Each structure stands twice: as C-alpha cells, then as structure tokens.
Amino acid sequence: MKKLIFWILAGAILLPSCGKREESLDALTRRVFSVAASQARDMDARLGEGETPRTLENDGTLINDGIGWWCSGFYPGSLWYIWQYGQDPEIQALAEKHTARLDTLIRRKTDHDIGFQINCSYGNGLSVHPECDAYMFQCAEKLAARYDPCPSVIKSWDNPKWEYPVIIDNMMNLELLMEEARRHDDDELKEVAYSHAMTTIQNHFREDYSTFHLVNYSPEDGHVIGRQTVQGYADDSAWARGQAWAIYGYTMMAREAGLAGDEEEKDIFLNQAEHIASYLLGRLPEDGIPYWDFDAPDIPAALRDASAGAIMASAFAELSGLTADKALARKTREMALRQVRTLASPQYLAEPGTNGGFLLKHSVGNLNGPSEVDVPLTYADYYFLEALLRLQ
C-alpha cells in the first residue's frame, strides 16, 4: 500500500513536467527572425524599381506604392533590423538597395512623415553608412521647417479640410529631430521637438491619458479649434494605434531628453509615458493585442490590430528599462513579452512563402476609409522586430 501511494504521489509530481515547455525568448526570437529573413527576400522579388510594399488585396495580390507614401521607410527599416540580428550580407545588400530608393525624398513636397520615412530606413543603417548622416540632417531641417511658434507644434498635413492639423502620430517623427540635434549639437532642432511634445501633452490628452487622434489649431493665435479621432470609432473614443503612437512617442522623448542631459524635460516626458502605460495596461485584452478601437461597440472578435500591438510592445519594452517605478517596470516588460508571444503565434505570424512576403497578419490601417482592414502592414512588421530586439 505504501509503495502504491508513493508511485501515485511521484506521478502527480512528474506529470506536469511532461507538458510542453514555453518557448524561450531566445528561441522565439531566432524563429521569428528566420521567418522574417525568408519573407524579406520574397518581398524583394515582388517589388519593381521605385516601389515599396503597402499591403495585400483580398485575393492576395500585393499592393505597392511609391517612395512618397508615409510608410516607405518601414520595409528597408525591417531589413536593417533583420541584418542587425543575423549579420547576413545578402540582407544588408537588400537593406542598402531599398534605403537608397528614398534618396530623392527630400526634393519632394513632404509632410511630417519624413521622420518615419528617413529615420526608420537611413537611421537604422547609419552604423554601416555614417556618411548618410548629412542627408538625414537635411531631412530633419525640412521636418523642423513645418514648425510654427504660434501653435508651437509641427503641422502634419497641408490639407484645406483643417486650418492647422496635428495628429498624435507626429510624436514619432520627433525622434529624427532629437537624434540629429544630438549628432550635430543643434539646439534649434531639439527645441522644436520639445515644444511640440509639450504642447501635445497640453492639448491631445484626456484626463484618463487616452489621446485624441487629431487636434486642429488656429494658425493665427494658436488656440484649439477642435479635437477629432479621424481613424477611430468616435471623437471621444480611444483609437488603438493612436494610443500606441502616444506611449511610444513619450517613451522615446524621455530617452532622448535623458541622452541630451535635460533632466527636467526627461521627467515630464517619462511621467507622461508612465501614465499612458498605466491606462493601456488596464484596458488591453488578455493576450495583449488591442482591438481596432478600445471603445467601439460590437467589434468583431477577429478585428484586432497587430500593428498597434507591435508598436505598444516596443514601447513597453523600452519603458520597462527607463521607469524608476519597479512595479510598472515589471508590468510593462511582462506585457511586452505577452504581446510578442501572441504575435509570434500561428494566429499572427505568417508561414514562409505566404502573406505576400509580409511577416504579420491581422492589422488595421483605416477602418473608416475603409482601407487596409484585417491585412498585413509594413509598420506592424517593423515594430514587432524592434520589440524583439529591445527585449533581448
């Protein structure tokens, strides 16, 4: 009888260890970057001269765009991240080729997205090609030229529908200004970035630290004419990707202000990022991937936005290393890990040779368009790879 009890107890102890172990972060990262390299080569074979990938048609046909499209820097940026991880010379050559395609962008009529386009591409290749910094500095100056001291923000678009529109996405483009200000000891670029970020804190955020998508300013005296959520469910709703730009933008600005030695500004931006993070941690689904809009009713269960999840994961990963709040550091890193594990699952990660060469499935561009709904998008891939590198 004693022997029987012993073997029953031993079995109870040993049985759980027979279950499948959770994949280590290192193994997950190797797996994802292997798929990413394969997909990146596939994508290159599909692109013509001067084309950049955009998304897929319903029938799987690749939709391309030109270098003026706001996302033109994300595919070359992903190539640089894949190279950074694996040091593959073939991937480096592809990154150089697709980055070089953006070398005439500065001669075009541009908007605030030149920060996305240039920093994600040229910026990620700068360690290999430091000579490209001169071009990046010119692009930063062109971005700063969109700043007006009356509203104290960088104008997003030249669109007659609004007097002086500024979207929360614009926070992301400040990274180009801050990095070039640091490299060239240029206080003017830095002050433009600081002014934009401070004004955005005042006018873009609600009391709960959710953000509007667009604020329309008066160019005459700088007062706020109106606030909207153009790509979300309603003006008073929390559009998921807008919240992702916010947490990423202020985490980045806290980092850059710290590197500049400006502790007062760093504390302001870090405080904002921490509040946004707390808001998001209280609203994200269990698997970490947000729905298209946090407040939209009757959202189909499948309508998640992998792009917003990837952007948040990258921001959470960085914030976990910046905040002095140990509990928040733990929670943000745990959420980043949860998000990348979900995105690395078969539900979101493409099989090699599928998905038109894109890495992730199930992103939402603009549901109100409607355009790019439940499709792959280049920026989802980019920030997913960045999140994995940061978690390493």
**Which residues are known to be catalytic?**
113, 169
Closest CA to 121 of 141, 143, 136: 136
Closest CA to 135 of 96, 100, 169: 100
DSSP sequence for 118-175: HHTTTGGGTTT-GGGHHHHHHHHHHHHTTEETTTTEE-----TTSSSEEETTHHHHHH
Rounded distance, CA 245 to CA 251, Å?
A: 10
Q: Which two three-digit tokens encode residue 160?
A: 């007659």
Cα-to-chain-centroid distance, residue 95:
19
Residue whose tokens read 């407040």: 295
Q: Which two three-digit tokens encode residue 182?
A: 């640091």
Query: Which residue spans within the chain are E strands per DSSP?
Result: 52-56, 62-65, 147-148, 153-154, 165-167, 214-217, 224-228, 363-366, 371-375
Q: Which two three-digit tokens encode residue 361?
A: 């499935």
